[in-house]
Amino acid sequence: MALRRIDRSEIEKMDRISRLNLVNSCTGYKSANLIATINNQGKTNVAVFSSVTHLGSDPALISFTMRPITVPRHTYNNIKEYGYFSINHITAEQIADAHHTSADYPEEISEFDQTYLQPVYHNDCPVPFVKGSPVKLLCKYVNEYLIQENGCILIVASIEAIFYEEEVKTADNWLQLDKGKVVAINGLDGYALPVLLERLPYARPKTK
pLDDT for res 207: 66
- Asked if the model's pLDDT at residue 61 lies above 70, the reply is yes
Q: Residue range 6-24: average pLDDT?
A: 95
What confidence tier does 208 reach under pLDDT thresholds 50, 70, 90? Answer: low
Ordered by start, the domain boundaries in the chain are: 30-192
pLDDT for res 1: 87
pLDDT for res 70: 86
Exposure string (b/e) for 84-116, b if CB count within 10 Å is 16 or more? bbbbbbbbeebbebbbebeeebeeeebbbeebe
Q: Residue 160 contacts by C-beta under 8 Å, 6 or more apart in sequence?
A: 84, 138, 139, 140
Q: What single-letter DSSP state applies at residue 71?
A: S
- Asked if the model's pLDDT at residue 75 lies above 90, the reply is yes
Least confident range of 8-12, 34-38, 45-49, 66-70? 66-70
Query: What's the Cα-to-Cα distance from 119 to each of 37, 111, 138, rounded to whole Å?
Result: 10, 10, 14
- 33 vs 157: CA distance, rounded Å: 15
- Asked if the model's pLDDT at residue 203 lies above 90, the reply is no
In terms of DSSP bridges, do strands 30-31 and 184-186 run parallel, antiparallel, or are they unpaired? antiparallel
Q: What is the mean pLDDT of the chain?
A: 95
In the chain, what percentage of residues exceed pLDDT 90?
91
Name the fold adopted by 30-192.
Pnp Oxidase; Chain A (2.30.110)
What confidence tier does 90 reach under pLDDT thresholds 50, 70, 90? Answer: very high
